[in-house]
Amino acid sequence: MRVYLDNSATTEVYPEAAEAAVRLMRECYGNPSSLHGAGLDAERELKSARKTVASLAFGCRDNEVYFTSCGTEGDNTAIFGAWQSHRREGNEIVTTAVEHPAVLEAMRRLEEEGAKVTYVGVDKECRVDPEEVAAAVTDKTILISVMTVNNETGTVMPIRKIADRKGKAILHTDAVQALGKTDLSGLGADLITVSGHKIHAPKGVGAIYVKKGTKLRPYLYGGGQESGFRSGTENTPGIAAFAAAVRKGYEEKDAQHARMRAARERLLAGILDQIPDVKVNSPADGSPSVLNVSFLGTRGEVILHRLEQENIYVSTGSACSAGKKGGSHVLKAMGLTPEEVTGAIRFSFGAFNTPEEMDYVIDKLAEAVGSFRRLGSFR
Ligand code: PLP
């Protein structure tokens, strides 16, 4: 059996999304900016994809959606764009300590340019307090950036409550891990970034929602594509595939959520039943897609490789922070001890997982944790 439980890192592409990409590459490969029929056909596809993403992913108007190359580009566009457009009105930004590096590293860059960034902390379930965010906002705050769902724990952040008290600041939310899992239409954010490869579309495509009326300098300049907001010939195969994945995810949302939730519950129940000395780091009311657990007295990285030998794929944190020294900045911000951080494993679920797979995972996980603890060399 092969069990892929690293869906927060990336996902298997839906057949429908792959077919859409191939169709665009093989049959509709014109440049949407070209004036001839082949260009017009591609432009029609682009328009149709934009309509799908606007209505099903964001619940917004078509002209509020711009396609990007990935979540990182969307986050950078939002942060640098807001800074460049509004820095004369103030130099303060509010974010959290548990954002993805696509946000945190952009913030560090802006600090070099004179931005005063406040990193609001989180509680032991990785949740930011909207009161604390509101307290950090001043009349010089031009941007608030808080993720919708944390990628390491699945914690759902109170974006609506933050929106209610954002003042005149622009509110950006990184919804890369939220698309398809929570409703993005009522968040009240001005800017929302999403990414295709987290929802069973191919890598290399994403989108940003820019609420009508929000002043935001473009990040890429050139031929004026995407109404001048994001130059560069559009990735039409990727965009068509993204729209196909959004549609499929939307149509099958209830069934997928029920299956993910059942898989997550079965895995958690099995872990608690069969493995002593664990700490569950994900909140019970988190996204159905993530379960983060610390196996005390072990090293997550070593368990990961043991599971890999059994064709089970998990992660120790986010794919991006996994390679970094010092352990997860998210788990540390939650107040976990070094032992809890070192022993953490993230299981993340997608459309293709089944509850039945979990029995196999529990078996192999119990074996791996047990044998490492018996060796006693990892404490
Ligand atoms: N934001 C979050 C919360 C993520 O989890 C990720 C990817 O893991 C990103 C941004 C970056 O997205 P991409 O890989 O599409 O650049």
pLDDT of residue 321 exceeding 50: no
User: What CA–CA distance (Å, rounded) separates 254 from 260?
Assistant: 10
From the list 246, 244, 245, 214, the residue with the least C-alpha distance to 229 is 214
Ligand 1 atom index nearest CA of 196: 15
User: What CA–CA distance (Å, rounded) separates 346 from 343?
Assistant: 10
Q: Whose CA is nearest to atom 14 of ligand 1?
A: 71
How many beta carbons lie within 10 A of that of residue 287, not counting itself?
A: 28
Phi then psi for 292, rounded to 5 degrees? -115, 125
| Residues known to be catalytic | 320
Helix (H, G, I), strand (E, B) or coil at 348: strand
From the list 378, 370, 320, the residue with the least C-alpha distance to 346 is 320
pLDDT tens column, 179-188: 999 999 999 9
Ligand 1 atom index nearest CA of 319: 8
Give 92's strand partners: 116, 141
How many beta carbons lie within 10 A of that of residue 274, not counting itself?
A: 15
pLDDT tens column, 350-359: 999 999 999 9
pLDDT of residue 323 exceeding 80: no
User: What CA–CA distance (Å, rounded) separates 181 from 208?
Assistant: 17
Residue 375 pLDDT level (bands cut at 50, 70, 90) = confident
Q: Average pLDDT, stretch 190-212? A: 98
| Percent of the chain predicted with pLDDT > 70 | 96
Weakest mean pLDDT among 91-100, 211-220, 263-272, 309-318: 309-318
Query: What are the C-alpha distances in Å from 333 to residues 70, 296, 307, 339?
Result: 26, 18, 27, 14
Ligand 1 atom index nearest CA of 147: 3
pLDDT of residue 22 exceeding 90: yes
pLDDT the model gives residue 320: 47
| Percent of the chain predicted with pLDDT > 90 | 95
3-state helix/strand/coil string of 149-162: ECCCCCCECCHHHH
pLDDT the model gives residue 376: 64
User: What CA–CA distance (Å, rounded) separates 232 from 243?
Assistant: 19
pLDDT of residue 196 exceeding 90: yes
Phi then psi for 65, rounded to 5 degrees? -115, 130
From the list 288, 284, 292, the residue with the least C-alpha distance to 262 is 288
| Stretch (H or E) spanning 295 | strand 290-295
Q: Whose CA is nearest to atom 12 of ligand 1?
A: 71
pLDDT the model gives residue 169: 98
Which of 7, 195, 346 to mutate to test ligand 1, by most ligand atoms within 8 A of the CB atom? 195
Q: Whose CA is nearest to atom 9 of ligand 1?
A: 71
User: What CA–CA distance (Å, rounded) separates 46 from 67?
Assistant: 10
pLDDT tens column, 236-269: 999 999 999 999 999 999 999 999 999 999 999 9
Helix (H, G, I), strand (E, B) or coil at 290: strand
Residue 379 pLDDT level (bands cut at 50, 70, 90) = very low
234 in Cβ contact with 46 (< 8 Å): yes
pLDDT of residue 341 exceeding 70: yes
pLDDT the model gives residue 377: 54
**Residues within 6 Å of ligand 1 by CB:** 70-72, 75, 100, 102, 147, 151, 174, 176-177, 195, 197, 206, 318-320
Number of H helices and E strands in the chain, helices first, is 13, 12
pLDDT of residue 324 exceeding 80: no
